[in-house]
Amino acid sequence: MAEKCDVLILGAGVVGLATGIALLEADPSKKVIIAEKENALALHASGRNSGVLHAGFYYSPDSLKAKFCREGNKELRILAKKYNIPVREVGKVVVVRNDDENTRLETLYERGIKNGVDLQILDASQLNKYEPLAITHERFLWSPTTAVSDSKAIVDAMRQEFERLGGTIHYNTKLSLKEVNNEIRDTQNQYDAQHIVNAAGAQADRISRAVNVGTEYAMLPFMGVYRATEEKNLPLQRLVYPVPHPINPFLGVHFTLTVDHKVKIGPTAIPIAGREQYSVLSGWSGSDIAQALKGMTSLIRGEAHDFGAILKTEWPKIIQTLLVKESLDLVPTAGSVKDWHKKPPGIRAQLVHLPTGKLEQDFVVQNKLNSTHVLNAVSPGWTSALPFGQWITKLFIPI
């Protein structure tokens, strides 16, 4: 017999947990169940991200990312404090390598100010006060509200919040959806839910297509690989980022710090076939390959991005010496570090809009009947999760 609930959420990542928390905060009497296909939390994007609490200046002021990132930064800090999770208030410098990037730095600053983010553009002569190991051309951007925390610990804190409010997580529960009599249900009839939220991350579009939602998109995963060393080998005080590429939606090779005092360089942004392809031989399927090929074909035909440039610049970075070499434009002394080790890779589940060949750069949420589908929640999805979940609850879910 199907288990009755008011809301069934597919996926116990940060977006699924945040939505469950928001639902129960709005109405504690509701029965909310999260179905998680794995036997534990944070095995994929929610636990494999950089751990950076982004400030919110990269995103267009009219975007959902801009709407939620700045507020999410504050809310994650509150959650971390409640559960005694460390947050390192390191800040970030965005440095410039040439005159063209100087112009784009101004655009970043103006965007951030419109988004209500605390930012400064400072003269290169002041960089030594903020990050002595970094170099810049003429100016740099200083973001004091960028910080780092422990992504897996934050996910566990969200789990505790959800369960404290009365929510339930069912592990090892892999579901798909179907439409029956003008209603969306799970194919196994394991649950009888008034409303279903598909927050399955890299698998969300596959689940949604079964009920004819999101068919205008294909999923093209990008693998991010980091190398790390002990902070004593490269004593950075701040995160150090380049000005991002003007048309490709990746932040470029940069330096991040961790709560356990490591320094990381990366990530790569390598197009791959599998949504969970953390190694060559596993984590992909035939349908993954088909989707990735559709996405790549659309990107090549479209004019929104330079896919050839992505391949040319990203694939070589899988070799450590080339990854380190690129980072020297930001922090030259990184070249003297010998003790780099590989960190577990992460995968950015990136939607491609098939008609235009555009990599979807904002959060994408679609509704159908009694179901809501979170199709795109890439970076800064972790930082933005709590207010994003509140927005999903208010806008899409009848409670």
Please check whether residue 337 lies inside any domain of the structure.
yes
Q: Is there a contact between 207 and 176 (Cβ–Cβ < 8 Å)?
A: yes
Residue length, the chain? 399
Closest listed residue to residue 226, CA positions, set 181, 192, 263: 263
- Number of neighbouring beta carbons within 10 Å of residue 364: 19
Please state, in angstroms and rounded to a whole number, the distance separating the CA atoms of residues 117 and 100.
23
- 55 and 167 co-located in one domain: yes
Please check whether residue 131 lies inside any domain of the structure.
no
Please state, in angstroms and rounded to a whole number, the distance separating the CA atoms of residues 277 and 348.
11
Judge whether residue 315 has pLDDT over 90. no
Q: What is the pTM of this model?
A: 0.96
Closest listed residue to residue 253, CA positions, set 243, 132, 351: 243
pLDDT in tens, 252-279: 899 999 999 999 999 988 899 999 999 8
Radius of gyration from C-alpha coordinates of the chain? 21
Residue type, 44: H
For 46: left if phi > 0, alpha if psi spans -120 to 50, otherwise beta; the answer is alpha
- 272 and 334 co-located in one domain: yes
- 262 and 319 co-located in one domain: yes
Task: Give the pLDDT score at 283.
Answer: 85
- 286 and 349 co-located in one domain: yes
- 43 and 187 co-located in one domain: yes
CATH (domain of 191)? 3.50.50.60
- 71 and 21 co-located in one domain: yes
Judge whether residue 142 has pLDDT over 90. yes
Specify the number of domains making up the chain: 2
Average the pLDDT over 273-294 and give the result: 90
Please check whether residue 96 lies inside any domain of the structure.
no
**DSSP state, 203?**
G
- 278 and 261 co-located in one domain: yes
Task: Give the pLDDT score at 282.
Answer: 83
Task: Output the CA torsion 102→103→104→108 (10° steps).
Answer: 90
Please check whether residue 159 lies inside any domain of the structure.
yes
Confidence of residue 249 (pLDDT cuts 50, 70, 90): low
Peptide bond into 267 cis (omega under 30): yes
- 316 and 182 co-located in one domain: no
pLDDT in tens, 167-217: 999 999 999 999 999 999 999 999 999 999 999 999 999 999 999 999 999
Please check whether residue 125 lies inside any domain of the structure.
no
Q: Is there a contact between 247 and 375 (Cβ–Cβ < 8 Å)?
A: no
Angstrom distances, CA of residue 281 to CA of 70, 277, 278, 345: 39, 8, 9, 15
The 10 Å CB-count burial string (b at 16+, else e) for 262-277 is bbbbbbbbbbbbbbbb
Task: Give the pLDDT score at 316.
Answer: 83
The residue from 318, 333, 354 where one domain ends is: 354
- 299 and 368 co-located in one domain: no
pLDDT in tens, 375-391: 999 999 999 999 999 99
Residue 376 bridge partners (DSSP): 364
- 277 and 318 co-located in one domain: yes
Task: Give the pLDDT score at 64.
Answer: 97
Confidence of residue 280 (pLDDT cuts 50, 70, 90): confident
Average the pLDDT over 126-150 and give the result: 98
Average the pLDDT over 110-114 and give the result: 97
Q: What is the 3-state secondary structure (H, E, C) of 69-112?
A: HHHHHHHHHHHHHHCCCCEECCCEEEECCCHHHHHHHHHHHHHH
Confidence of residue 303 (pLDDT cuts 50, 70, 90): confident
pLDDT in tens, 153-163: 999 999 999 99
Averaged pLDDT score across all residues of the chain: 95
Please state, in angstroms and rounded to a whole number, the distance separating the CA atoms of residues 171 and 140.
46
pLDDT in tens, 40-77: 999 999 999 999 999 999 999 999 999 999 999 999 99
Please check whether residue 115 lies inside any domain of the structure.
no
Please check whether residue 123 lies inside any domain of the structure.
no
- 276 and 206 co-located in one domain: no
Task: Output the CA torsion 226→230→234→237 (10° steps).
Answer: 90
Q: 273: domain range? A: 217-233+257-354
Average the pLDDT over 128-136 and give the result: 98
- 347 and 386 co-located in one domain: no
Please check whether residue 108 lies inside any domain of the structure.
no
